[in-house]
A and B are shown apart, each in its own frame.
Chain A
Amino acid sequence: MFTIVSKRYLSPAITEMKVLAPRVAASAQPGQFVIVRTDEAGERIPLTICDYDREAGTVTIVTQSVGISSTKINDMNEGDAFADFAGPLGRPSDLLDIPVEELRKMNILFVAGGVGTAPVYPQAKWLKEQGVTADVIIGARTRDLFTYVDEMQQVANVHLATDDGSAGYHGMVTGLIKELIENQGKHYDRCVIIGPMIMMKFASLATKEYQIPTVVSLNALMVDGTGMCGACRVTVDGQTRFTCVDGPEFDAHKVDFDEAMRRQNMYRNNVKTNPETHKCHCNG
């Protein structure tokens, strides 16, 4: 049983859960994801691994309530168990392939937005363990929506940006990227962007301008998550790739974001996934 050993709210719609899954915890690497299913009737939902504790055998996931399944996840409590918690899936972050001596010479920038902040954490933490302190831009609409800032500050140099100017830089993450490079003399050799698809699209355009090699972590729709269904296909450099087995990280400057966004909304108006039309049978 994949029992939830702890749960806390990062914001009213976002929870962080530590889930007992010793096999997954033993093999997890930064950049990978899990597929979870709440119960027999549940969907298989991919969630990025946000942290793992090999000794305790737990894996941390962060979920934002947006549709039926994510709401079902967030309604679960400490002591409840997921029907399924399978992984780790996908390829680990490319950063793991770079020799440590080289990593230490590099300036690495992360750009995180919304619920994408938590998945940046294991990568920044892993870098810190290798002796590399990365810069992390965290963007939000307003200061109350920030998550994982304290955790991130333990492992990286954090730069905040809010659309309304309530904290940190006043503006979008794209503006802050420009600010750091043009006005604060920063130079980056590599960038990792994780967040809502639209943010990843524009942040990628910004790093392209400065010719910073950039990867994005895509959160495509999936069913099995193991390469079987192809629901998660994405066009990268003109080629069709499967996010689940070829990704989830891809060269940001080669991803067809417009197609990816369109495909992500495939079931938006479906009776089952639309919260307004969904008839819940959770209680029989």
Chain B
Amino acid sequence: MANRIPRVAVREQDPKVRATNFEEVCLGYDREEAMLEATRCLDCKNPRCQGQCPVHVDIPGFIRQVVKGDIAAAADVIARDSSLPSVCGRVCPQESQCEGACVLGIKGEPVAIGKLERFVGDWAIEHAGDEDRKPAAIERNGHKVAVVGSGPAGLACASDLAKLGYEVKIFEALHKVGGVLVYGIPEFRLPKERVVAREVEAVKRLGVEIDTDVIVGRTATIDQLIDQEGYEAVFIGSGAGLPRFMGIEGENLNGVFSANEFLTRANLMHAYDEQYDTPIYAGKKAVIVGGGNVAMDAVRTARRLGAEAVIVYRRSEAELPARVEEVHHAKQEGIEFKMLTNPVRIIGTEDGWVKGIECVEMELGEPDESGRRSPVVKEGSNFVMDCDVVIMALGTSPNPLIKHTTEGLETTKRGCIVADEAGQTSRPNIFAGGDAVTGAATVILAMGAGRKAAAAIHKYISEK
């Protein structure tokens, strides 16, 4: 019988302290806390949580092992479906997936599935080098596969293929491995050395080679990889890295950044650390436009750099697409939320620096095609907010470079690569998955797509 106790609280850094540092906010469960929280699971016959997980992790199955204190067994259960539990436990929108479906959530609080997954994932990273957990020697099958991009999709695809015996090489455009996990998601949400780098190490231990500084489409095209370097299949997991802007007046003023630029400076280039050369400018007051996770990451980064930081979002709080935990953390850290507000122009000083942003108030009208009530401008509600930095966090689209340099690769009007459920593109030996196919989505979906494509590539090469 499940334990009728309240959800075990997770330890966090004090909001006042963490608003001035880049250390991880959530400290996670220890073994005792995890085992206690695990006892809350009802172990439902029909586990709705598992059904809502994009990769169908056997959630009651791994929690059962945590209850017993057999964390190794729990890690093995998760590993059947997910290759990045310590990452997904931190960044998945659990409230709209597994935890959102938890029966306990109907009357009270759902089981802290994300925090439990994180605990198990971290344990697995910690013990990856243990003799009894080292991957068994894999017999190479002599077939070569290239993977484009080292984000969640690429890493997942590469590790599955390596486990099947393929000789896999990942080509990464940037100088660090991890894609959005290193350039996009901040240190305070996803530690780079302690989590990301060690997940990457685990992939390398399987025999996967990773070449950084290779921009596929420029340094070498996909066809060159196939024709000249002998790769039998290519997986494209190049993500959605192209930032969108609003197209309003003043967007090219000094002090207006894409969230991508701002976060890349902070995360990939460590600009917040004075030991690193890359500069970053958060101003005295930074306005961040958008309501997704990227907007939350940018606003909290600006806050940590000493700016007064404000979110401006055109819908209401209920429609914020960001994870609930991030919104909650942002508020604790003193972030101001201006909902139902939309910028119409950015105002500059005489020498071209941002000095304010003119916005209009919005109200919610009829639901649009996404099912969300669409915001409508309140006529005559224009007002000006003083600020010296504006950061646009409006979403991203896939980089067109691969589309332009790969003959016969079909893409949608929005620049996404066309691929079926298994990742097959319009070219027989080219597969794709993750944000490059779906447009900006989540780590877990990308990871799942990478794994499906690995299976499809295995089938393709085996049947060739």
Contact = CB atoms under 8 A, between A and B. Distances in A.
Given A44-B269, A266-B281, A86 B242 contact: no
Given A228-B399, A245-B401, A279 B274 contact: yes
Contact of A270 (B260, B261, B281): B281
A112 to B, nearest CB: 25
Q: Is the interface of B mostly helix, strand, loop or mixed?
A: loop
A270 B279 contact: yes
A37 B175 contact: yes
Given A224-B174, A259-B352, A89 B252 contact: no
A158 interface: no
A74 interface: no
A233 interface: yes
Contacts of B212: 84
Nearest to A239: B247
Range for the number of chain A residues in contact with chain B: 35 or more
Contacts of A9: none
Contacts, number: 123
B173 interface: yes
A42 B175 CA distance: 11
B252 A227 contact: no
B277 interface: yes
B82 interface: no
Contact of B173 (A26, A42, A226, A279): A226
A93 to B, nearest CB: 15
B241 A88 contact: no
Interface string A251-262: 000000001001
B278 A43 contact: yes
B175 A223 contact: no
Contacts of B213: 84-86
Interface string B147-176: 000000000000000000000000001110
Contacts of A235: 252
Interface string A40-54: 011110000000000
Given A27-B218, A84-B213, A267 B261 contact: no
A37 B268 CA distance: 13
A47 B174 CA distance: 16
A272 interface: yes
B175 A262 contact: no
Range for the number of chain B residues in contact with chain A: 35 or more
Contacts of A72: 277
A228 B219 contact: no
B219 A223 contact: no
A233 B252 contact: yes
A19 interface: no
Contact of B278 (A83, A272, A281): A272
Contact of B261 (A42, A229, A245, A259): A229
B100 to A, nearest CB: 32
A180 B339 CA distance: 61
B254 A262 contact: yes
A36 to B, nearest CB: 10
Contacts of A106: none
Interface in A232-269: 233-235, 240, 245, 259, 262-263, 265-267
Contacts of A42: 277
B306 interface: no
A76 B233 CA distance: 40
A227 B261 contact: no
Contacts of B241: 224, 226-228
A272 B279 contact: yes
Contact of A87 (B218, B243, B247, B270): B218
B251 interface: yes
A240 B252 contact: yes
B215 A226 contact: yes
A34 to B, nearest CB: 9
Contact of B245 (A228, A229, A230, A273): A230
Contact of A23 (B214, B257, B270, B278): B214
A228 B264 contact: yes
A69 B247 CA distance: 33
A42 B252 CA distance: 26
A167 interface: no
Interface in B294-344: none
B242 A227 contact: yes
B265 interface: yes
A216 interface: no
Nearest to A69: B277
Nearest to A272: B279
A226 B399 contact: yes
Contacts of B174: 86, 224, 226
A10 interface: no
Given A87-B215, A228-B242, A272-B274, 20 more contacts: A23-B219, A37-B175, A42-B277, A43-B277, A44-B269, A84-B212, A86-B173, A86-B215, A87-B219, A223-B265, A224-B268, A226-B173, A226-B215, A226-B401, A230-B257, A230-B258, A240-B252, A245-B400, A262-B351, A267-B279
23 contacts: A23-B220, A26-B220, A27-B218, A41-B270, A68-B277, A85-B213, A86-B214, A223-B261, A224-B183, A226-B174, A228-B183, A228-B264, A229-B243, A229-B258, A229-B260, A230-B257, A230-B260, A259-B352, A265-B254, A266-B281, A271-B279, A281-B274, A281-B275
Interface of B: 173-175, 183, 212-215, 218-220, 241-243, 245, 247, 251-252, 254-255, 257-258, 260-261, 264-265, 268-271, 274-279, 281, 351-352, 399-401
Interface of A: 23-24, 26-27, 37, 41-44, 68-69, 72, 83-89, 223-224, 226-231, 233-235, 240, 245, 259, 262-263, 265-267, 270-273, 279, 281
Closest 5 interchain pairs by CB? A229-B261, A86-B213, A270-B279, A228-B241, A230-B258
